[in-house]
Amino acid sequence: MSPTTLLWPILFPAAVAVVLLLIPSRIRYAREILSVMSAGALLYLGFVLFARRNLSLVSDWLGPGINFDLRLYHFSAFILLALSGFLFLICLYSAVKMKNHPRAREYFGYVFLAAAFSNGAVLANNFVLLVFFWEALLITTYALVTLGLKPTSHRTAVKSLLIGGFCDFAMILGIGLLWASTGTLTMDKIQVEPHGLTLAAFVLMMIGAIGKAGAMPFHTWIPDAALDAPVSFMAFMPASFEKLLGIYLLARITLDFFELKVGSGLSILLMIIGAATIVFAVFMALIQKDFKKLLSFHAVSQVGYMVLGVGTAIPIGIAGGIFHMINHAMYKCGLFLSSGSVEHRTGTTELKKLGGLAREMPWTAAGFAVCALAISGVWPLNGFVSKEMVFHGALETGYPIFAIAAWVGAIFTFASFLKAGHSVFLGPRSTEVPKTRESEAPIVLPILILAALCITFGVYNKLPLQHFIQPILHGKAEAAEHLDFTSHALDLFNPVAGVSILCLIIALGIHFYGWNRSGKKAYLASEPIHNLPVLHKLYDLSEARFFDLYEQGVKFLQWLSRLLFRFIDRPVDYVYEKVVTAVGRTFTGLLQKAHNGQYANYLAWTVGGLVVVVWIILQLLK
């Protein structure tokens, strides 16, 4: 297999994107067929490359140090495979869901472009190349969000772009620092210890990674996008692709480029970010009354587990984080797709209007149930495994507070999914939506596949852990003698798992308490927590976007702009427009007044001038 094969995962989807953008809308099914088939081909390519593992391609690009450098190895191959898998499912799903979308042509084009960029980002072995693909994703994200066609879609798209841009620019700065200190941009040659400038580089690059993954505080566009963007986009980007890329990079940062030490400041920083993301986002998720928005907050919350896991710097934690990444991509994708399926049939995702759909849409409900249980960490699904690994990792660092935060997250995750599932699929049949039936097969199929995968990865967790995760850590993370995580991962009977299970029970309790308190209306089950004295205030503030860093940032930008404009730009202009003219006028006026046309006056000057000249000459003569 020649190295140029590595160009295929990039060029092929890009070419498909161009073709898709050019196909006239009139030709029926061509677009859908082409996209599904290409995605299938890509998936096949992903398998081929995964089997091949090691390949690299280097050619000149932007001069010294900045080469067009692609490298395939176990980690990137794994991510590449995952990406193409999700792409295939999304295409399959979108083929029906987006068929009648007025700008479906663009949608498919952008999806494939995004796939091309993502593949490029994963394969890149040069930081500039990485940034190129990485940042290019912003444009596709932007474009895809605008396809929501809501009045606020563009606003949200800009928000995603600005936040993403901020994070990516931070990453660029970090890469610059890294380059300045190591002298190379080739990724597999860099391994430094974070201190001084490289410490700053670490933090900046970390911002880039977690920004893409959507951790706090760079997450705020995701809940907005849940309402404003097409739901398949949510499953595509925030739920799967961005998580994969973000955590991929975060893992590489902590494993490859920098040596993250257990208990070091950076590790704790990462864990704080992770823990905060878990807790705050889950509290927000809990009170949501919209299916998609609820899911979107979970998409944020779950990032916390991954960041926390990777941040522990302990092999089991890192492995857990990475495993959680792939697991999350599966079940969150499944969840979004099932919410899309509901929306597809009922036209709404508001919890209040839905209810009792399980009978009419059994497959969707089943898929949802599996995925929801997986995300809640119910044994023996995959979520349970990866979360357990993260808990173990967090406990091993010696800071149990992080584990506690993770557990708190677990409680409310389950509570909120109980609420969601209860209000959408169970309970009395809502009267606000007309009678309906199950969605078409291409919609249901991806959900079921994902649900099946959740089960597989949970029950046969040795398979992914040994084949995907272990090689990544091999020789990288600090000295766990054996990298066999499977031993205690599925062990249901240990104290850690006990606490986790206790959490689930508490969540069950909370849900039913709330359900009872709010007059048996499932969608109001979270109200008791919502109305807790202090929390209530905080919730209000956050509804008013007080905690939204973006809103505050935009305000700051506007304030700063006005400041610069009023106090630098305008005064400078004032100097040209007014001061110079005024000074000129004043002098001219004074001089003109002196020229009053009086002969005697003029003669006086002449004589005076003579006197002065004589005086000067006499002075000079002395």
Partner 1 sequence: MKVETITLLTIFIPILGSLLVPLAGAISPRLRSAWSVLLGAITAVLSLTLIPRAMQGGEVIWSRSLALGLDFVLVIDPLSVFMAIVSSFIGFLIIVYSLGYIHHEDHQNEYYLMVVLFIGSMMGLVFSSNLVFMYLFWEIIAIACWRLIGFYRQKDYILKADKAFLVTFGGAVVMLLGFILIYGQTGTFNLVDMRGVAISGTAVLLILFGMFSKSATVPLHTWLPDAGVAPTTVTALLHAAVLVKIGVYAYARLFLYTFKIPPDWQQAIIILAVLSSLVAAGAATVENDLKRILAYSTVSQIGYIFLGLSVATPTAISGSLLFILMHGLAKAGLFLCAGIVIHATHKRDIREMGGLIKTMPITAISFLICAFSVIGLPPLGGFFSKLLVIMGTVQADQVWVAALALFTAVLTMFYLLRVFALVFLSEPKIPAPEKTPSMVGVVATLAVLSVLAGLLVSYPMKLVQMATTHISWWLR
Partner 2 sequence: MVIQIILLCGLVIFSVLAILLKDLIKAALSLAVASLLLGIIFFRLAAPYAGVFEISVVAGLITVLFILTIALTKKGDEVTEARLVKLAFPVFLILFLVIDGLVMKSLLQKIPALPSGPETGTFGQVLWKQRTFDLVAQVGVILAGVLAVLALFRKKEEDRDE
Partner 3 sequence: MVFSFIVMPLLVAAFLPLIGKFSKKLLPDVLTNAALAFLVFNSILLVKPVFNQGFIVQNLHWLGEKVNLQVALDAFNLFMLFTISLVSLCISLFSIDYLEHYGHKSTFYALFLVMIAGMNGLVLVPDLFSVYLFLEVAAVASYALVAFGLGYDELEASFKYLMLSVVASAFALLSITVIFGMTGSLNFQAVAQGLQDLEARLVLGVCVAFFIMGFGLKAALVPFHAWLPDAHPSAPAPISAMLSGLLIKVSGIYALFRIVYSVIGITPALSRLLMALGTISMVVAALLALGQKDIKRMLAYSSISQVGYIVLGLALGTPLGIAGALFHLFNHAVAKGLLFLNSGSIQHITGTRNLEELGGLGKMVPVTAGTNLVGALSIAGVPPLAGFWSKLIIIMALVQAREFGYALVAILASILTLWYYLLIQRQAFFGRVAEKWLQVREAPFWMSAANVVLALVCVLAGIFFTPIFKTWISPAAEALARGIQQVLMWGL
Applying CB under 8 A, which residues contact partner 2?
Answer: 596-601, 603-604, 607-608, 610-611, 614-615, 618
Pick the piece of the chain touching partner 3 (CB under 8 A) from 63-71, 94-102, 488-496, 602-610. 602-610
Considering Cα of 339, then 221, then 377, then 503, what sign does the dihedral take? negative
601: amino acid identity, one letter: N
Partner whose binding site includes residue 247, from partner 3, partner 2, partner 1, none (CB under 5 to 8 Å by kind): none
| Torsion on CA atoms 238, 327, 289, 230, rounded to nearest 10 | 30
> CB 303 → partner 1: shortest distance, Å?
22
- The answer to whether residue 21 forms part of the interface with partner 1 (CB under 8 A) is no
Nearer CB in complex with partner 1: 155/289: 155
Tell the smallest beta-carbon distance from residue 614 to partner 2 (Å). Answer: 6
528 contact choice in partner 1, partner 2, partner 3, none (CB below 5 to 8 Å, kind-dependent): none
Greatest extent of the chain over all pairs of C-alpha atoms, in Å: 119
Helices (H), 480-522: 486-489, 495-517
Binding mask 169-208 for partner 3 (x = CB under 8 A): ----------------------------------------
Closest approach, Cβ 568 to partner 3, in A, equals 24
> Of 155 and 517, which has the nearer Cβ to partner 1?
155
Cα distances (angstroms) measured from residue 447 to each of 37, 235, 349, 373, 442: 19, 11, 17, 14, 9
- Rule CB under 8 A: choose which of 193, 432, 491, 577 binds partner 1: 577
Least distance CB 593 / partner 2 (angstroms): 11
Could you tell me the smallest distance in angstroms from the CB atom of residue 571 to partner 3?
Answer: 21
Contact 171/208 with Cβ under 8 angstroms? yes
Question: What H or E segment, with its residue span, contains residue 56?
Answer: strand 55-60
Q: Least CB distance from residue 190 to partner 3, whole Å?
A: 53
Strands 55-60 vs 67-72: parallel, antiparallel or unpaired: antiparallel
> What does the H/E/C string look like for 458-481?
HHCCHHHHHHHHHHHHCCCCCCCC
- Minimum Å distance from CB 142 to partner 1? 9
| Shortest spacing between CB 61 and partner 1, in angstroms | 5
Residue showing tokens 């490359």 = 49
Q: How far is the CB of 575 from partner 3 (least distance, A)?
A: 14
Chosen from partner 2, partner 3, partner 1, none, partner binding at 75 (C-beta under 5 to 8 Å by type)? none
Spell out the residues 6+ positions from residue 36 whose beta carbon is closer than 8 angstroms to its own.
88, 91, 92, 95
Q: Give whichever of 479 and 590 is closer to partner 2, judged by the CB atom.
A: 590
Count of CB atoms situated within 10 Å of the CB of 6 = 24
Q: Is the peptide bond before 434 cis (omega within 30 degrees of 0)?
A: no
DSSP 541-586: HHHTTTT-HHHHHHHHHHHHHHHHIIIIIHHHHHIIIIIHHHHHHH
Specify the residue, 18 or 607, whose C-beta has the smaller distance to partner 3: 607
User: Roughly what angle, to the nearest 10 degrees, separates helices 8-22 and 30-52?
Assistant: 180
Q: Taking the complex as a whole, how short is the minimal distance between the CB of residue 592 and partner 2, in angstroms?
A: 15
Binding mask 177-206 toward partner 1 (x if CB under 8 A, else -) reads x-xx----------------x--x------
The residue among 469, 454, 464 whose CA lies nearest residue 332 is 454
Q: SS3 for 371?
A: helix
Q: 20-41: string of b/e by CB count within 10 Å (b at 16+)?
A: beebeeeeeeebbebbbebbeb
* Among 123, 172, 213, 234, contact with partner 1 (rule: CB under 8 A): 172
- Give backbone dihedrals phi and psi of 258, rounded to 5 degrees, phi first: -120, 155
Task: Tell me how many residues contact partner 3 (CB under 8 A).
Answer: 25
Q: Is 555 in the site for partner 3 (CB under 8 A)?
A: no
The CA-atom distances, in angstroms, between 222 and each of 70, 130, 238 are 31, 23, 7
Kindly determine how many residues on this chain lie close enough to bind partner 1 according to the rule CB under 8 A.
Answer: 48
Q: In angstroms, what is the minimal distance from the CB of 604 to partner 3?
A: 9
Judged by CB under 8 A, which of 1, 33, 37, 560 binds partner 1?
A: 560
Q: What are the Cα distances from residue 120, in Å, to 4, 9, 46, 285, 596?
A: 13, 7, 13, 33, 80
Residues 35-64 that bind partner 1 (CB under 8 A): 60-64
The CA distance from 153 to 158, in Å, is 9
The neighbour count for residue 390, using CB atoms within 10 Å, is 33
Provide the minimum distance between the beta carbon of 602 and partner 2 in the complex, in angstroms, as a whole number: 9
Q: Which helix (H) or strand (E) holds 67?
A: strand 67-72
The entry of partner 3, partner 2, partner 1, none near residue 587 (CB within 5 to 8 angstroms by kind) is partner 3
Query: CA torsion sign, 410 to 412 to 417 to 418?
Result: positive
Tell me the window of 206-214, 268-276, 502-510, 568-576 that interacts with partner 1 (CB under 8 A).
568-576
What is the residue whose two structure tokens read 């905690």? 547
- Strand pairing partners for 70? 57, 124
Contact 439, 401 (CB under 8 A): no
Q: Which does 609 bind (CB under 5 to 8 A by kind): partner 2, partner 1, partner 3, none?
A: partner 3
Query: Per CB under 8 A, does 562 bind partner 1?
Result: yes
What does the per-residue mask of binding to partner 3 show for 561-600, with x meaning CB under 8 A?
-----------------------xx-xxx-xx--x-x-x-
Which 69-128 residues touch partner 1, going by CB under 8 A? Answer: 117, 128
Q: Which of 55, 170, 381, 433 binds partner 1 (CB under 8 A)?
A: 170
Instruction: Select from 1, 51, 441, 564 the one that contacts partner 1 (CB under 8 A).
Output: 564
Residues in touch with partner 3 (CB under 8 A) = 584-585, 587-589, 591-592, 595, 597, 599, 601-603, 605-606, 608-610, 613-614, 616-618, 620-621
Question: Could you list the residues that contact partner 1 (CB under 8 A)?
Answer: 60-64, 68, 117, 128, 131-133, 135-136, 138-139, 154-155, 158, 161-162, 165-166, 169-170, 172-173, 175-177, 179-180, 197, 200, 554, 557-558, 560-565, 568-569, 572-573, 576-577
